[in-house]
Amino acid sequence: MITTNRGIGMTSQRTRDRLVARLREEGIRNEAVLDVIRNTPRHLFVDEALASRAYEDTALPIGYNQTISQPYVVAAMTDLIISGHPQKVLEIGTGSGYQAAVLAPLVPKIYTVERIKPLAEQARQRFRKLALRNVRASYSDGTEGLPDFAPYDAIITTAAAEKIPQALLEQLSPDGGRLVIPLGGRDQQTLTLVTRQGDSFEKTGLDPVVFVPLLTGQA
């Protein structure tokens, strides 16, 4: 459950409504996704100094050379993930925890992994504060997935890879599992949807995006 902290001024419900109106204008049509974006307190996922900008449609820094993704991108990726009606989702790159919080009302079970320990700990605190009991956070190398709970109906990657990690393909459900991942280098990335049927993987390139790189190891 997300306890919506209504906020005042630039974090007020009116400000959130303006963000949702902008996302709708930009092509987000899934009302369930828009409702979650409206009700998720994004200002709790950024530093207090940036709270007044939390409902702008822009990425914001969260420290450790990482960012909280642009709301439009979060909404678009969420729409792609839930279109397959997943019961169990793996997120690679917890970051601030915002993407997982948006998915939480829409998916029964979410596993999320983060390689930067302070970010993982901060995200866990936010999940507890918002009573997101269906989100399980881990501190680990996301390029290895999370094999203990595989297979996953969907996997969402919030960092860009030049090549899809083999572990993620292997942990995707063979019965229509969906992987949403930005692919490419620093200068050019494409949001990509991979659908698995048995041992076959169909890859579809979607929108140009900009994400931090997917790195190996733990920090």
- What pLDDT, in 10s, does the model give residues 10-24? 567 889 999 999 999
Nearest alpha carbon to residue 45 among 57, 33, 54, 36 = 54
pLDDT at residue 2 greater than cutoff 70: no
Q: Of 69, 83, 173, 200, which is the active-site residue?
A: 69
Quick one: pLDDT at residue 8? 44
Q: Of all helices (H) and strands (E), which one includes residue 72? A: helix 71-82
Mean pLDDT of 111-116: 97
- 140 classed as catalytic: no
- What pLDDT, in 10s, does the model give residues 46-57? 999 999 999 999
Tokens of 11: 């974090």
Quick one: pLDDT at residue 129? 96
Quick one: pLDDT at residue 4? 47
Distances (CA, A) of 37 to 123, 169, 191: 18, 29, 20
Say how far apart CA 208 and CA 219 lie, in whole Å: 28
Query: Which domains are seen in the chain, by residue range?
Result: 59-209 (3.40.50.150)
Mean pLDDT of 78-99: 96
Tokens of 199: 């041992």
